[in-house]
């Protein structure tokens, strides 16, 4: 990651207070243990406070809550939340590296009917179909396909190999990582009397609203009719399957290898762990949490945590698990009682 910021410039990003030389130039990023001269790092845990006198980093973003020792080497940037500020810095650096990309690389195909903002970037071997609209500062990296009638909002980044099917709507400030597929057919097949299946045409689309992040190799199916909707602020990990006509509530996060079956509504501000499976046509509550590998087969309430497969509320699962762990000893006790009862009956 290329960096060329002064400490003064970095501190302005998150309104930090500089203690030391604010003209120090930062060229890289490292951990507080392994950083080199010219690097910046962060410190939010008092456990590592002694590293302030050992680190080779030129600057450290540090929590206001931590007591600074008498001996320390780097320039400090004091902030309310060092971890959050470091994340903001990484975001700004990443933007700076990406924003240098401009223009249209060749060979690429761009339809004459496409509307491309002059500040966009389109990488080589990309295909932009009819009536596509790319708004300000959209970045489309090489080997991407954008189907006809698709609209992509400002400052959205489409990484290499992404395939966006026709009629998709993508909002502002979104990120779609490599090899994801947006708008493929939903899994719709009708059984016939001869035990074969015929395909149900999928004529809807996908709508992705603002500030959504989609990981690599994730697939979002278009709706059979109407729209599959990913609401504002949703964060999807790698390798996720979102079925047709699903709606994901705003600010929900879903970890890798999870699958949401068709026509399910996932509530806002929810958290789904890795490998969660959700059956179709459910309504899941807001502010709910789903433990890794949960198999969700029923509607859930707001502010609920569910665990297990089939999934159940956390308190029920814990009570059941206590009993489940004891099953081997309970079986032995039952067998012993059966022997004693058999002996009594024989007497």
Alpha helices for the chain (secondary structure H): 7-13, 82-99, 314-346
Main-chain dihedrals φ then ψ at residue 335, nearest 5 degrees: -60, -40
Cβ–Cβ < 8 Å for 248, 230: yes
Which string of DSSP letters, residue by residue, matches 158-194?
E-TT-EE-TT-EE-TT-EE-TT-EEEEPP--EEE-TT
Q: Compute, in degrees rounded to 10, the torsion defined by CA atoms 200, 164, 178, 40.
A: -130
Which residues partner with 109 through β-bridges? 127
Distance of alpha carbon 227 from alpha carbon 263, whole angstroms: 10
Cβ–Cβ < 8 Å for 306, 284: no
244 given a catalytic annotation: yes
Q: Which of 78, 177, 244, 268 is catalytic?
A: 244
Residues annotated as catalytic (active site), given as ranges: 244
């Amino acid at each position: 990651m290329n960096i060329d910021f002064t400490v003064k410039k970095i501190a302005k990003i998150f309104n930090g207070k500089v203690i030391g030389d604010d003209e120090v130039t930062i060229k890289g990023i490292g951990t507080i243990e392994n950083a080199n001269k010219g690097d910046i790092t962060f410190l939010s845990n008092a456990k590592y406070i002694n590293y302030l006198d050992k680190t080779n980093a030129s600057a450290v973003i540090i929590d206001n809550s931590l007591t600074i020792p008498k001996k320390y080497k780097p320039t400090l940037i004091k902030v309310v939340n060092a971890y959050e500020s470091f994340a903001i810095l990484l975001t700004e650096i990443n933007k700076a590296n990406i924003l240098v990309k401009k223009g249209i690389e060749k060979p690429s195909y761009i339809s004459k009917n496409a509307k491309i903002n002059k500040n966009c970037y389109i990488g080589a071997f990309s295909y932009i179909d009819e009536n596509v609209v790319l708004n300000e500062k959209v970045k489309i990296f090489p080997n991407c396909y954008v189907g006809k009638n698709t609209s992509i909002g400002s400052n959205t980044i489409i990484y290499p190999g992404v395939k966006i099917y026709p009629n998709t709507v993508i909002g502002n400030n979104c990120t779609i990582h490599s090899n994801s597929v947006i708008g493929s057919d939903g899994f719709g097949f009708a059984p016939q009397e001869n035990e074969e299946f015929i395909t149900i045409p999928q004529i809807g689309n996908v709508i992705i609203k603002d500030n959504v992040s989609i990981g690599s190799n994730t697939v979002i199916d278009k709706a059979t009719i109407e729209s599959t909707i990913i609401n504002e602020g949703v964060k999807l990990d790698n390798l996720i399957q979102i079925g047709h006509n699903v709606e994901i509530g705003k600010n929900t996060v879903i970890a890798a290898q999870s699958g949401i079956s068709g026509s399910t509504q996932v509530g806002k501000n929810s958290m789904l762990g890795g490998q969660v499976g959700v059956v179709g046509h459910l309504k899941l509550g807001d502010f709910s949490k789903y433990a890794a590998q949960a198999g969700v087969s029923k509607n859930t309430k707001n502010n609920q945590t569910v665990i297990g497969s089939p999934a159940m509320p956390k308190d029920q699962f814990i009570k059941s698990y206590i009993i489940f762990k004891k099953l081997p000893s309970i079986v032995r006790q039952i067998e012993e009682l059966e022997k004693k009862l058999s002996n009594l009956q024989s007497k």
